[in-house]
Each structure stands twice: as structure tokens, then as C-alpha cells.
Amino acid sequence: MKIKFLIAALLSVHVAGIAQLSGDLTVVKQTGATSVKNQANTGTCWSFSTTSLIESTTLANGNGEFDLSEMYTVRCIYTEKAKNYLLRQGSAQFGPGGLGHDVIRAMANYGAMPEGNYSGLLLGVKNHDHSKMDSQLKNYLDSLLKKRPVPADWMTGFQGILDEHLGKAPETFTYKEKTYTPQTFAKEVLKFKAEDYVNITSFSHHPFYSSFILEVPDNFLNGSYYNVPLGEMISLTERAVQSGYSVMWDADVSNRYFNQSSGYAIQWVGTDRPQNITPDQEEVKFDQASRQQLFESLVTQDDHLMHLVGIEKSAGGKKFFLVKNSWGEIGPFKGYINVSEVYFAINTISLVVPKAALDPKLKSKLGIK
């Protein structure tokens, strides 16, 4: 019983901390969330957002609070990208970007570890900056492709570049006076299972209630996503939060409507930005067809992943989602942004959702056990 009370206290602390950030919006439901992180000068939002999701899921499941290493996952996925890039002889994506399922795969195959055991920051360095590392890794792989045969020990050089910029990752570490490998830590301490998470999207160029490989550049692993109608994608997101879970949100934010400095993402009407963005701002109309057209014309693109942790409403009754970003504690809501339902509907690319949060009827339609 004491453990349950402690977990409840932790959740209440986190929820109370977020509740104060919502400005003019009324909080309907929030989930527990860990502190806002800063990906800094890296393209690793996919790791920060999905790691945050897993941290919140461990809270929701009563497994405790963790600050997990995003950069351990990053270096594991870089290794996978490198193998893929060479086998495809350079005709593949290689760069810092990724998707939520990359983190799920990495934790399943390589495990996880606390931030305190591997930060990916060298001694004396306070902020992540992968600009030089990204360039060196790509140049190294391209140089290998000029040779035939590719040297058998090429991975040694690749890992050496990662070590130079991120530091060596420990093979074992101590947590609460017990020694773990990353794999045993993920299994025994986090209770992590890849099958506990589901990839969701909503596009009409593939049949609904089936799965397909999402056609975005960063899907280098050719991950499949369950395809549902737009209304159901919105409702399952709400249901997840109402059930005490949260959602990894992959979206287009490179547009004039997403404004971290104001703390709002609102798809306002007209070409000119309103002088004052308010929650009850009039917004454009949307449907499945208009969303699809924006995606196929490459207006809506996969460019940023965040962690959706709450539902809010405005004084006028409009629905918003509370989203935790990974750009540090910037903006009026200290790293959080309030995303309107309209913005979410138009700009969402994909989601990672805890399977336990899905409605049984939807799971049946999708063939999920």
C-alpha cells in the first residue's frame, strides 16, 4: 500500500506542476510527466519525445519515476541506420531524424539505461550539439561506399566517431546497488515490452483498419502503422489521456501556426497572423480529404515529434491538447505548448500509443490482441 501511495504522490506532483502552465485554458485531464528536456542542436526529437512517453507510461503503470538516457537510444539507432545505409549503397536516409517506433525497437533490442549512467555529453559539455558528429558519420559511410569490398571492420570506425562525440556507452551499470546491462534494466526494472505500444496514423491513400508502411523519409526501418479514420485518431488520443496514459505526437510544426513563443498552435483563419493569438481564435475547417491533400502535396510533412500529455478546453468550449516539447523550458508555459484540436487534426503525421489505452472495439477492428 505504501508503494501505491508514493506513486500517487509522484503523479500528483507532476500533474500539479503542469496544471499551472495552461494559461487561459481549463485542464480537463492530465497525465504524469517527467521534466522538460532540451535536445539542443540535434535532430533527435524522436528519441526525446518517445522516451518521455515511456517515462510517463512507467508512471501510469505504477513502475516508478525514471529519467532515461535519450542518447543511448540515439547511438543504437545510428548503428542501425549505418547498416541500412551501406546495404542500400547510399540510396537510403541517413541523418539525425527518426520516428517513434525507432525508440520502441531500440529499447526492445538494446535495452535502456538512466540518464545518470549515460548522458551523451562529454565532460564539461552542458548542451547537445551533433552538427559535427552528423557530418563525420555521413562522410565516413560515403567514403566506405567508394571501396569494394567494404572493409569487414568498418563498424569499429563508425563506433569510434560516436565515442568521440557521445562518449562510450557502458556495457553494465549500477542502479540502486544492483548491476544491470541495458537489456536487463529495460526488462526487469522498466518492465518494458515493445508489444505494449501501437503505431497509429490516418491517411486515405491506404485502406482504413489496415496497416501500411508510412511514406516519410525518416521511416528508414519501413515501420508499419495502423490506419484509422481521422475522427477515430482524435478520439483514441483523447481516450488515452482520459485513461491516464499519454501519446507520442509526430507532426508538422514548420508552419506559421505553430508558435512556441506564444505557447499555442492554432490554425487561425486568413493569411495574416492575428495581433493577439487567443484560445478561442476562429480556425479553419478540416476533414479527411483536406488533410490528405496537404500531405500528398508535401505541405504537411514529418518534421517534429513531441509528447502529448493532457486535454484542455477554452472558455468558449474549444478542445486543446497539452504537449510537452523538447526545446527546453522556453515560452510562456515553460516548454509546453497548447495545441488546438484543429491543428492536431490537420498536422498530425503519426502517433505512438500505449496499447492498453485503445478501445477494445478498435483493437478488434485492427486485429490487435
pTM, two decimal places: 0.93
Give me the half-sphere count of Cα atoms (radius 13 Å) on the Cβ side of residue 322: 32
Question: Is pLDDT at 331 greater than 60 in this prediction?
Answer: yes
d(CA 170, CA 192): 20
Report the alpha-carbon distance of residue 291 to residue 230 in Å, rounded: 9
Query: Nearest Cα to 277, choosing from 256, 305, 253?
Result: 256
Instruction: Tell me the C-alpha distance between 103 and 95, whole Å.
Output: 15
Find the range with the poorest average confidence among 15-24, 34-43, 221-230, 307-316. 15-24
Number of domains in the chain: 1
What local confidence, expressed as pLDDT, does residue 283 receive? 96
Residue 11 pLDDT exceeds 50: no
CB 27 within 8 A of CB 310: yes
pLDDT digits (tens, 9 = 90+) for 244-283: 999 999 999 999 999 999 999 999 998 888 888 899 999 9
Mean of pLDDT values over 31-47: 97
Residue 277 has a pLDDT of 86
- Which three cell numbers, joined as nine digits, stand for 126? 552542458
Q: According to the model, what pLDDT value does residue 271 have?
A: 82
Q: Can you give the pLDDT at residue 334?
A: 96
In a 10 Å sphere around its CB, with 0-12 CB exposed, 13-18 middle and 19+ buried, how is residue 137 labelled?
Answer: buried
Q: Which residues fall within 8 angstroms of residue 296, CB to CB, at 6 or more apart?
A: 205
* Res 175: pLDDT: 96
C-alpha distances (whole Å) from 248 to each of 27, 99, 101, 267, 353 are: 19, 10, 10, 21, 7
pLDDT tens digits along 151-197: 999 999 999 999 999 999 999 999 999 999 999 999 999 999 999 99
Confidence of residue 127 (pLDDT cuts 50, 70, 90): very high
pLDDT band at 12 (very low <50, low <70, confident <90, very high): very low
Host domain of residue 107: 2-366
Pairing of β 336-340 and β 264-265: parallel
Question: 3-state SS string over 213-249?
Answer: ECCCCCCCCCCEEEECCHHHHHHHHHHHHHCCCCEEE
Nearest to 133 by CA among 98, 85, 96, 92: 96
* Stretch 286-306: mean pLDDT: 97
Does position 18 have pLDDT exceeding 60, yes or no?
no
For residues 135 and 214, give the distance between their C-alpha atoms in angstroms, rounded to a whole number. 27
- What's the mean pLDDT in 65-71? 98
pLDDT band, very low/low/confident/very high, at 23 (cuts 50, 70, 90): low
Q: Residue 134: which CATH number?
A: 3.90.70.10
